[in-house]
Amino acid sequence: LLLEGDPGSGKTRLAYAVAYELGYPLKCCYIRSTSRAQDLLYTYDAVGRLYDIQESRVGEERQAAPSREKYVTLGDLGEAIRLSEQGIPSVVLIDEIDKADIDFPNDLLLVLDRLEFSVDEVQGMEYSALQGKPRDERRDVLPLVIITSNREKELPKPFLRRCLFYYIPFPEQEELSRIMESHFQKGMTPLFAEALKRFWHLRHQEVVRWRKTPSTSELLDWVQLLERDEQRGRLTAEDLATRPVQALPHLGALVKTQSDRDALNKVNS
């Protein structure tokens, strides 16, 4: 499942929710610009083995070279495939795949298609979720792979062809209200209602071409700061309603670039 949507729209949290609802273990692969596809499967500590070999040759009695298997550490996707071998399904999150090099998704194609891999450094060390059986016979124990992307890079077409795609739309005001109530564990207070109104109006300013559009996560961060001000007697819902957009408290929690800030300074509201 390939998920796209604005940053902060809940793509990553969906994997946590799916794992919770299904009762499956969750394996998380957080992608960086330096990530390699193999690292999701396993890493091999060649330096550590070389050191141990040298240590074993010190002294009069030489010890046997340590086993290569000792230096293999399964990555989260590799661990999920190993669990499937044992009949245990899991959820695998591959988060922000678009951060990686363009070759990264291509390198994952065969693994995601076959759900098997071998450890090149250890002869005969292999893992397979399918166990040589048709996919339909093993579907109840196969890992559910959820991949997120912020569309910073286009993903290869062969990779997309193997995915189910879903775009998470930005919530409407009513849904945002429910999200706030759930997040803060309380009903909509006058301050919350006014904050949501101001946020919605701010986000839909026609004169602003957002470089970084405020997201749900930024709304929640902003409201948390506003609530703290209210508790300290520094802010009321009425005060928030009358302030011009440029003078909204903690605007830096919503507006994250100087060009967006400059554009807001031209708004007459």
Check whether 269 has a pLDDT greater than 90. Answer: no
pLDDT: which is higher, 57 or 136: 136
Q: Summarize the confidence of residues 21-46 as an average pLDDT.
A: 95
Cβ-Cβ contacts under 8 Å for 219 (sequence gap 6 or more): 176, 180, 195, 196, 199, 254
pLDDT tens profile 157-207: 999 999 999 999 999 999 999 999 999 999 999 999 999 999 999 999 887
What's the pLDDT at 62?
67
Q: What pLDDT, on a 0 to 100 scale, did the predictor assign at position 248?
A: 96
pLDDT at 6: 84
**Which residue do the tokens 């929640």 mark?**
220
Token pair belonging to 73: 């550490």
Give the pLDDT score at 49: 87
Question: In whole angstroms, what separates CA 58 from the centre of its chain?
Answer: 47
Cα separation, 117 vs 134, in Å, equals 17
Model pLDDT for residues 59-102, shown as the tens digit of each residue: 666 677 778 999 999 999 999 999 999 999 999 999 999 999 98
Quick one: pLDDT at residue 61?
63
pLDDT score recorded for residue 8: 78
> Does residue 231 have a pLDDT over 70?
yes
